[in-house]
Amino acid sequence: MHYNPSVYFDPLLVADNFLANPYPLLHQLREREPVYWSDSVGGWLLTRYDDIVVTMKDAAHFSNENRLGQAVAYLPPERRAKYKPFEDHYKTKGLLHSDPPDHTRMRSLITKEFTPKVVEDIKPRIRKAVNDLLDTGSAQGQMDLVPDLAAALPVNIFGEILGVPTEDRHLFKTWTDGILGFQGSNKPSEADLTLAQQCLIDLRAYLMEMVIERRRQPRVDLMSKLVAVEASGQRLTEAELLNTGVTLFTAGHETTVAFISNSIYTLLSHPEQLNLLRQNHDLLGSALEECLRFESPVSRQTRLMKADVEMDGKLIRKGEIVIQMLNAANRDPKYFPQPDNFDIRREPNRHMAFGQGIHFCAGATLARAEATIAVETVLKRFPNLELLEQTPQWVTEKRNSRVLRSLRVRL
């Protein structure tokens, strides 16, 4: 029978069991079709480490500007018109939706707030928050570490950094889930697009109220600093401020939830590696980097082609979408020998869980600090920690996130 890659791969790429366990199919793609046009996903899927590095570093061809706005382009004009607020948001430049020089200008502002020194000063608050959450959740002798720790911690820490009142912080998980639901596919359902648009409208309205209040009465928080820069008229427009605010809330929450919960699950499901870590605490940093590689919180990202490029003999045209399959790159055997083995002593470990190049995650230092303190504290406080469910329940609604639905443990 004649081999037709699209007939074979396309149905599998949008199936729930692929999202639950993507690695066998990603290995096949990397070996047989490393640069693959998927009509069902709506873009070119890249699965080799080297190819993805090129797309991260060559902003002249592989652009971040309006890359997510292309998700409505497949709709006929009369249905696409319903999503004008969605398109308008992603047409605006922001931290994740811009190229140099605009990106350079915005990133220099944001990274000042997440330097190692700033994060070091936040660590006592992180440590207290982790212990408070564990005190509350552990009363019954078991916990679901996804909602009770992994999700609650970044909401509280990031909410405090940005200046969101405690009573409002729960809103951001709902908005984040809705906004991320369409991402990772360039042909999302209209239900996903409608939910994402409504969540964008609601979150932008909330942020606008914060902006108005901080203009009137500045505080000691990140939103006040962003508003002060916007008021100077030199570094950040109001539209850029709102776009970047949405990015900070969504990215700052989801990736850390996944980092913490994926790490604890991966260690518990590899008891020999967990025992090695318990015997040698100095391996914690290396172990967490291997967790990032092995179960990357962000499984895919997109770029919009600004010009035609040939890759692996395929012509990728201007206006098309390229999808970086980060969880495939992080298991590329060219860079990671025995890539499906979880090895907390792996060296070197140049994973790209936080990206590479100019768009390397601005909050990586904070995410690493939160995950390190959370995992360290859990393992120290609960030396007999064990999984209550051996089969992981991965979220399959969000294609660009690798995150557990639950992580029930006996303490």
71 φ, ψ to 5°?
-65, -20
Tokens 């172990």, residue located = 287
The predicted structure's pLDDT at residue 191? 96
The predicted structure's pLDDT at residue 3? 67
The predicted structure's pLDDT at residue 322? 98
Q: CA geometry: angle at 360 spanning 340 and 64, to 5°?
A: 105
What's the farthest any 2 CA atoms get from each other in the chain? 71
Q: CA geometry: angle at 386 spanning 262 and 142, to 5°?
A: 95
- From its phi and psi, is residue 263 left (phi > 0), alpha (psi between -120 and 50) or beta? alpha
- From its phi and psi, is residue 338 left (phi > 0), alpha (psi between -120 and 50) or beta? left
pTM: 0.94
Look up the domain containing 388 and give its range: 5-410
Give the total number of structural domains in the chain.
1
The two beta strands, 35-38 and 43-46, are: antiparallel
The predicted structure's pLDDT at residue 2? 60
The predicted structure's pLDDT at residue 1? 47
H-type helices in 2-69, by residue range?
Answer: 5-13, 16-20, 23-32, 49-57
CATH of the domain at 89: 1.10.630.10
3-state secondary structure of 118: helix
pLDDT in tens, the chain (411 residues): 466 888 899 999 999 899 899 999 999 999 999 999 999 999 999 999 999 999 999 999 999 999 999 999 999 999 999 999 999 999 999 999 999 999 998 898 888 888 899 899 999 999 999 999 999 988 889 999 999 999 999 999 989 999 999 999 989 889 999 999 999 889 999 999 999 999 999 999 999 999 999 999 999 999 999 898 876 666 788 999 999 999 988 887 889 999 999 999 999 999 999 999 999 999 999 999 999 999 999 999 999 999 999 999 999 999 999 999 999 999 999 999 999 999 999 999 999 999 999 999 999 999 999 999 999 999 999 999 999 998 999 998 888 999 999 999 999
The predicted structure's pLDDT at residue 406? 96
3-state secondary structure of 120: helix
The predicted structure's pLDDT at residue 165? 94
Rg (CA), the chain: 21
Percent of the chain whose predicted confidence (pLDDT) is above 90: 83
Q: Which residue type sits at 287?
A: A
